Amino acid sequence: MTETKARAGEGLPQAQTPMQSPAAEAKAAMTGFLNEFNRFQDEVKSTLKHQEERLTMLNAKTMSYGRPALSARAEVEVPHQKAFNAYLRSGDDDGLRGLSLEGKAMSSAVAADGGYLVDPQTADRIRSMLLATSSLRSVATVVQVEASSFDVIVDRSEVGSGWATETGAQAETATPIIERISVKLHELSAMPKASQRLLDDSAFDVEGWLAEKIATRFTRAEAAAFINGDGVDKPKGILLPAKVANASWTWGQIGYVPTGAAADFAATNAVDCIVNLVYALGADYRANGTFVMNSKTVGAVRKMKDADGRFMWSDGLAANEPARLMGYPVLVCEDMPDVGANAYPIAFGDFRAAYTIAERPDLRILRDPFSAKPNVLFYANKRVGGDITDYAAIKLLKVAVS
């Protein structure tokens, strides 16, 4: 009887599994996710461990063969800096003599007369100080050379061109006019001094002190020469060439615009001469124009207003941004002349095109403990030159009626 009932039930459908609740499904999904995430973490840890083992092995091999290539420059500069510091403090130059960066003499006949090259860190600090000062260097073209001069080739003619027809004769174009301007380098020196007791103090930053003193003296000498230099053992300044009324300007001269008064700006419409000065410069130069004047002239110019009563001067709105006159930046150079009869107190031009400064990259120091006892003198020298390389790119304002 029982067997018969069991056989009779063989053909009936199986009972259905009851459906899981949403909470149970979410729990199962979260459990699966966590299991997968744990397996991923294990794989990442295994990979990182393998990479660390390889890096450790490579570092060990590198240390056995020598220092890493990335530190090569630092390893060269640090010994030079240490040796240079010892030379400055005590005159011990044994370390410098054994380096490949050993300084050479200024005179090729005597190998010990030129002192030693300044270490790269101190040289970079001096260079950055020179660039940060209010000097023509900040707006002119600056090139570094290894020779005693730098030649600039200027094509001051119009590009030869013309119109032609298919069958007509071609007219001959004008011959280009090429100018070669040689910027000669001159020796610039400074001689700061310090007491030996101060140099013996290990807390005294001798390189920083020396860099500041050298940069200060170099800056003053350069700034004056770039404006008023006569070219005799110094650069040629922007005020050196002959000056003519702009209407009569020719190459090799600097054109000027008058203020309209004999000894000052004009009593009425004083700003007109500034406008005339700006538009005396060619449009291709005017886009990069900069005003150059001293502080006294700035005090007079910044009071000028246009016909509508608006000031022509505007101060820089951001840090390190120069003040502007008629929208053009103003560089304050104290070596520019004051406003006075027949003076040229304001220059306007594209000085990147107009003026070139050439310099040798090396700076040498010679320690002298004998000439100023008990102080020690440090004779620093470099070679620098400057000259106008485009006479069309500068215009001057002359204090005169015409």
pLDDT at 111 over 50: no
C-alpha 395/C-alpha 23 separation (Å) is: 86
Establish if 134 belongs to a structural domain: no
Q: Is residue 345 part of a domain?
A: yes
Query: For residue 138, is pLDDT > 50?
Result: yes
pLDDT of residue 141: 95
What CATH number does the domain containing 341 carry? Answer: 3.30.2320.10
User: 103 lies in a domain?
Assistant: no
Q: Is residue 313 part of a domain?
A: yes
Separation CA 250–CA 64 (nearest Å):
69
**What token pair was written down for 96?**
């410098």
Q: What pLDDT sits at residue 103?
A: 41
In a domain, 363, yes or no: no
pLDDT at 399 over 50: yes
Q: Given a cut of 90, is residue 376 above it in pLDDT?
A: yes
The pair of three-digit structure tokens given for residue 6, joined into one six-digit string = 């069991």
Distance in angstroms (rounded) separating the CA atoms of residues 77 and 146: 21
Q: Which of 60-64, 113-117, 332-336 has the lowest mean pLDDT?
A: 60-64
| Mean pLDDT for the stretch of residues 225-246 | 96
Per the structure block, which two tokens stand in for 145?
């050379």
User: In this predicted structure, what is the pLDDT of residue 322?
Assistant: 86
Alpha helices (H) in 66-182, listed in sequence order: 72-90, 94-97, 120-132
For the stretch 56-88, what's the b/e string if a residue is b when 16 or more beta carbons lie within 10 angstroms of its beta carbon?
eeeeeeeeeeeeeeeeeeeeeeeebbebbbebb
Answer whether residue 347 shows pLDDT above 80.
yes
Cis peptide bond prior to 374, omega within 30° of 0? yes
Q: Is the pLDDT of residue 307 over 70?
A: yes
* Mean pLDDT of all residues belonging to the chain: 82
State what percent of residues in the chain have pLDDT above 90.
46
Domain that holds residue 263: 243-357+389-398
44 compared with 174, residue with greater pLDDT: 44
Q: Where are the beta strands (DSSP E) in 246-349?
A: 254-258, 290-293, 313-314, 324-325, 328-332, 346-349
pLDDT computed for residue 90 by the predictor: 85
Q: Total domain count for the chain?
A: 1
For residue 305, is it within any domain? yes
